[in-house]
Amino acid sequence: MAAMCGILAFFSAHGAAGAHADAIAGALESLHHRGPDETGVEVIGNDAVFGHKRLSIIDVAFSHEPLPYAGGRYLLTFNGEIYNYIELREELARDYGATFQTQGDGEVIAAGYHFWGEKVLTRLRGMFAFVIWDRQERRAFGARDYFGIKPLHYLQTVDGVYLASEKKALLPFAPAAHAGDAGVDTASLSHYLTLQYVPEPGTLHQGISRIGSGECLSWTPGYPIEVRRWYRPVFNPAPVPDQERLFTEIRETLRESVRLHMRSDVPVGSFLSSGIDSTAVVALARQFNPNILTFTVGYDVPGYSEIEVAQESARHLEVTTIPTKIGPQDMMDALPRIIWHLDDPVADPALVPLYFVAQKAAEHVTVVLSGEGADEFFGGYTIYREPLSLSAVNGLPDQMQKGLRAVSKVIPQGVKGKSFLERGTTPLEERYYGNARMFTEEEKQSLLRRYDPSVRYTDVTAPIYAEVPDLDDVTKMQYIDLYTWLRGDILVKADRISMAHSLEVRVPFLDREVFDVASRIPVELKLPPRSDATKWAMRQALQGVVPPAIVNRKKLGFPTPTRVWLAGEMYEWTRWIIANSAAGELIDLSYALRLLDEHKRGEVDHSRKVWTVLVFCIWHAIFVARTLDPGITRNQSALLTKPVVGSMVA
Question: Binding-site residues for ATP, please?
Answer: 297, 370-371
| Distance in angstroms (rounded) separating the CA atoms of residues 523 and 514 | 17
Beta strands 160-164 and 153-156, pairing class: antiparallel
Q: In 86-116, which positions are buried (b, 16+ CB within 10 angstroms) versus exposed (e)?
A: eebbebbeeeeebeeebbbbbbbbbbbbbee
First and final C-alpha spacing in the chain: 25
| Distance in angstroms (rounded) separating the CA atoms of residues 63 and 89 | 15
Find out whether 214 and 618 touch, Cβ atoms under 8 Å: no
Find out whether 615 and 622 touch, Cβ atoms under 8 Å: no
* 216 catalytic per annotation: no
| Distance in angstroms (rounded) separating the CA atoms of residues 354 and 267 | 19
Closest of 615, 623, 580, 568 to residue 335, by C-alpha? 615
∠ Cα 113 114 116 (to 5°): 60
Closest of 487, 481, 380 to residue 428, by C-alpha? 481
Contacts of 433 (CB under 8 A, 6+ apart): 194, 195, 457, 458, 460, 461, 480, 484
Phi, psi of 173, deg, nearest 5 = -105, -5
Write a three-state SS string for 391-423: HHHHCCCHHHHHHHHHHHHHCCCCCCCHHHHHH
Phi, psi of 235, deg, nearest 5 = -85, 135
| Distance in angstroms (rounded) separating the CA atoms of residues 569 and 586 | 28
Q: Which residues are annotated as a binding site for L-glutamine?
A: 105
Find out whether 481 and 434 touch, Cβ atoms under 8 Å: yes
Closest of 484, 418, 479 to residue 457, by C-alpha? 484
Phi, psi of 643, deg, nearest 5 = -75, 150
**Is 119 exposed, middle or buried (CB count within 10 Å of its CB: 0-12, 13-18, 19+)?**
exposed
Q: Which of 2, 3, 5, 8 is catalytic?
A: 5
Count CA atoms closer than 13 A to 179's CA, side-chain side. Answer: 7
Contacts of 469 (CB under 8 A, 6+ apart): none
Phi, psi of 9, deg, nearest 5 = -125, 145
Contacts of 117 (CB under 8 A, 6+ apart): none
| Distance in angstroms (rounded) separating the CA atoms of residues 458 and 433 | 8
According to DSSP, residue 589 is labeled H
Peptide bond between residue 36 and the one before it cis (omega within 30 degrees of 0): no
Q: Which residues are annotated as a binding site?
A: 105, 297, 370-371
**Is 279 exposed, middle or buried (CB count within 10 Å of its CB: 0-12, 13-18, 19+)?**
buried
**Is 76 exposed, middle or buried (CB count within 10 Å of its CB: 0-12, 13-18, 19+)?**
buried
The set of catalytic residues is 5
